[in-house]
């Protein structure tokens, strides 16, 4: 069907489908009723023929002169179509009805005399004939009775006319009813459409109306509302992330500008200029680290990060991270201890997981006091490999634990610049673990320090090949 012939309204399409289905149903119904009535009428006509045959066999008698006639001569004018033949094919008797309406090939049918009802179409209307053997006055004869199908034909024409006459009314009623039902069924869609037009980026709190949460449209509206809730949360996070990122980027730029302006206010010696340039380079380095982390999160959000597949020895990875960050720990007179249980291995992206572990250990060093202790535990179980990073810092209040993985969120904002934090370390660590199919959680402690647990799906190493 071409596009200009296809109805644009769902209501009209549903109504047309309803009408089409009703036309098919009514057509099948009319055909079934017509065939049932025709079959019943045909059966009644056949039964009447057999009654006529029995009546003729009982009512006919042989006269003294050898001819055949009914017992009651006066009733002959009302007798049905009837013929009596001899076994040699000679006509012995016929009624006035048979003489008025001769049936072609009746003599040939009389010769067979098989008691079968045969329709003879050579006359209009067709006749049905029953020919069968009988005995009249001890003489073997063939009794032949017939009836016209005119009554059946007229009755069936009248029935078909009545049925077809009601078809247009039934189709019209089905169309109106189908359109009305479609309109009522789709009324919630109109209300949802009107409400959806009001939803914009500034009005994400709006929700679609849900008339019946248990039907299909209600479930659809519920799913859309859940999507809008997630979209609203994403927009809110994006706004907060944009504001925080702008603030974090503005801070080092402001410091660089301020230091530069101070340095230009007067003539200074070489040492002073070196200090000023060193301060500016520190802020540039901080700015570069922040931009790198923002780019990493941006690639993570857009799914552009490509992961490799490596067999990672988690104990070896923990040793590498402890060795790399050991210098930072020594500056604060801290110790990094490794505890191993088994030799867990895991299959995933080694560099991404290393970044997560670096962020967790670096975070533990920043927030642990001078002389504190950081513990890295590596263990395995039949189902997973576990890496834990514990510190002896002040811990995280329970009411703030739900937000520690949010971007740019810091517990102690006043110390953020002192320890070089950007509020992105835990966010990146959580992404790095989850993108590898693992889970990063903050475990409950006894009020001293914090413990972050990385849970990874366990992968057994392939057996080594040994020559021999």
Domain boundaries, the chain: 10-154, 216-301, 310-457
- Phi first, then psi, for residue 139 (nearest 5°) are -95, 130
CB 125 within 8 A of CB 150: yes
86 or 186, greater pLDDT: 86
47 or 215, greater pLDDT: 47
> Is the pLDDT score of 418 beyond 50?
no
Helix axes 314-331, 350-367, angle to 10 degrees: 30
Q: Residue 124: how many CB atoms within 10 A of its CB?
A: 10
pLDDT tens for each residue of 173-182: 888 887 887 7
Query: Quick one: pLDDT at residue 417?
Result: 45
Query: Quick one: pLDDT at residue 70?
Result: 76
CB 376 within 8 A of CB 344: no
Q: Would you state the structure tokens that stand for residue 188, as one six-digit string?
A: 């919630």
> Is the pLDDT score of 60 beyond 70?
yes
When pLDDT is averaged across residues 262-280 and rounded to a whole number, the result is: 78
pLDDT tens for each residue of 216-260: 777 888 888 888 888 877 777 677 666 656 655 666 677 777 777
Q: Where are the alpha helices (DSSP H) in 302-408?
A: 314-331, 350-367
Percent of the chain predicted with pLDDT > 90:
3
> Is the pLDDT score of 40 beyond 90?
yes
d(CA 92, CA 405): 115
Helix (H) or strand (E) holding 130: strand 127-136
Architecture of domain 216-301: Orthogonal Bundle (1.10)
Query: Quick one: pLDDT at residue 414?
Result: 43
Percent of the chain predicted with pLDDT > 70:
81
- Phi first, then psi, for residue 94 (nearest 5°) are -150, 155
CB 82 within 8 A of CB 192: no
Read out DSSP for 222-281? Answer: HHHHHHHHHHHHHHHHHHHHHHHHHHHHHHHHHHHHHHHHHHTSS---HHHHHHHHHHHH
Closest CA to 389 of 425, 364, 370, 406: 364
Query: Quick one: pLDDT at residue 464?
Result: 37
446 or 315, greater pLDDT: 315
**Banded pLDDT at 36 (limits 50, 70, 90):** very high
d(CA 101, CA 193): 75
Mean pLDDT of the chain: 78
Closest CA to 96 of 111, 112, 77: 77
Tracing tokens 């503005």 back to the chain, one arrives at 250
> Is the pLDDT score of 394 beyond 90?
no
When pLDDT is averaged across residues 311-335 and rounded to a whole number, the result is: 86
Closest CA to 417 of 306, 304, 254: 254
Residues 388-424: b if buried by 16+ CB within 10 A, e if exposed: bbbbbbebbeeeeeeebbbbbbbbeeeebeeeebbbb
Residues 6 or more apart whose CB falls under 8 angstroms from that of 219 comprise 213
Query: Quick one: pLDDT at residue 467?
Result: 37
When pLDDT is averaged across residues 418-428 and rounded to a whole number, the result is: 64
> Is the pLDDT score of 444 beyond 70?
yes
> Is the pLDDT score of 104 beyond 80?
yes
d(CA 226, CA 195): 15
Read out DSSP for 295-314? Answer: HHHHHHHTT-PPPP-EEEEH
Query: Quick one: pLDDT at residue 298?
Result: 63
Q: Three-state SS for 127?
A: strand
When pLDDT is averaged across residues 316-331 and rounded to a whole number, the result is: 85
Q: Would you state the structure tokens that stand for residue 99, as one six-digit string?
A: 């003489």
Q: Residue 26: how many CB atoms within 10 A of its CB?
A: 17
Q: What is the DSSP letter of 75?
A: G
The CATH number for 310-457, chosen from 3.30.565.10, 2.70.98.60, 1.10.1200.10, 3.30.70.20, is 3.30.565.10
Query: Quick one: pLDDT at residue 466?
Result: 34
Rounded (5°) CA angle 222-224-226:
70
CB 451 within 8 A of CB 389: yes
Query: Quick one: pLDDT at residue 294?
Result: 65
Q: Which of 19-23, 98-102, 133-137, 305-309 has the lowest mean pLDDT?
A: 305-309
d(CA 263, CA 277): 9
CA–CA distances in Å: residue 146 to residues 5, 67, 92, 401 = 57, 22, 16, 102
Please give the order of strands across the beta sheet that includes 373-380.
335-341, 373-380, 384-390, 451-457, 439-443
The residue length of the chain stands at 468
First to last CA, the chain: 75
Query: Quick one: pLDDT at residue 432?
Result: 79
Closest CA to 296 of 358, 253, 343: 358
Q: What is the DSSP letter of 448?
A: S
Architecture of domain 10-154: 2-Layer Sandwich (3.30)
**Banded pLDDT at 47 (limits 50, 70, 90):** very high
pLDDT tens for each residue of 145-158: 999 888 888 888 89
Rounded (5°) CA angle 77-83-88:
150
pLDDT tens for each residue of 274-309: 887 887 787 787 677 667 666 666 665 555 566 677
Closest CA to 117 of 149, 88, 70, 85: 149
């Amino acid at each position: 069907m071409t596009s200009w012939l296809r109805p644009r309204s769902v209501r009209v399409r549903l109504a047309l489908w309803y009408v089409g289905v009703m036309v098919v149903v009514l057509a099948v119904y009319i055909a079934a009723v017509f065939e049932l009535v025709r079959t019943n009428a045909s059966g009644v006509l056949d039964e009447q023929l057999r009654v006529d045959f029995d009546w003729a066999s009982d009512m006919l008698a042989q006269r003294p002169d050898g001819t055949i006639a009914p017992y009651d001569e006066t009733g002959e004018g009302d007798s049905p179509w009837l013929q009596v033949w001899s076994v040699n094919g000679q006509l012995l008797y016929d009624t006035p009805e048979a003489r008025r309406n001769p049936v072609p090939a009746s003599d040939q049918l009389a010769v067979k005399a098989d008691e079968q009802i045969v329709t003879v179409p050579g006359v209009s209307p067709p006749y049905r004939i029953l020919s069968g053997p009988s005995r009249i006055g001890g003489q073997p004869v063939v009794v032949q009775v017939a009836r016209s199908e005119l009554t059946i034909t007229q009755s069936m024409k009248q029935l078909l006319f009545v049925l077809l006459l009601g078809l247009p009314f039934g189709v019209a009623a089905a169309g109106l009813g189908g359109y009305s039902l479609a309109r009522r069924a789709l009324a919630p869609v109109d209300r949802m459409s009107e409400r959806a037009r009001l939803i914009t980026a500034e009005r994400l709190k709006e929700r679609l109306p849900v008339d019946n949460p248990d039907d299909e449209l209600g479930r659809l509206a519920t799913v859309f509302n859940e999507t809008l809730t997630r979209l609203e949360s994403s927009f809110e996070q994006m706004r907060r992330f944009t504001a925080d990122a702008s603030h974090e980027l503005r801070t080092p730029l402001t410091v660089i500008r301020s230091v530069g302006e101070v340095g230009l206010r007067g003539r200074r010696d070489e040492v002073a200029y070196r200090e000023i340039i060193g301060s500016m380079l520190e802020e540039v380095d901080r700015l570069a680290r922040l931009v790198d982390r923002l780019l990493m999160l941006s690639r993570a959000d857009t799914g552009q990060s490509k992961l490799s597949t490596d067999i990672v020895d988690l104990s070896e990875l923990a040793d590498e991270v402890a060795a790399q960050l050991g210098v930072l720990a020594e500056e604060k007179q801290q110790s990094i201890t490794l505890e191993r249980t088994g030799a867990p291995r895991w299959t995933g992206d080694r560099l991404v997981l290393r970044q997560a572990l670096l962020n967790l250990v670096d975070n533990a060093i920043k927030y642990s006091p001078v002389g504190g202790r950081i513990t890295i535990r590596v263990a395995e179980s039949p189902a997973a490999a576990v890496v834990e990073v514990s510190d002896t810092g002040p811990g995280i209040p329970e009411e703030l634990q739900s937000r520690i993985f949010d971007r740019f969120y810091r517990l102690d904002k006043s110390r953020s610049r002192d320890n070089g934090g950007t509020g992105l370390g835990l966010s990146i660590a959580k992404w790095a673990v989850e993108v590898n199919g693992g889970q990063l959680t903050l475990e409950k402690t006894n009020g001293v320090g914090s413990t972050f647990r990385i849970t990874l799906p366990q992968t057994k190493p392939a057996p080594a090949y040994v020559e021999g």
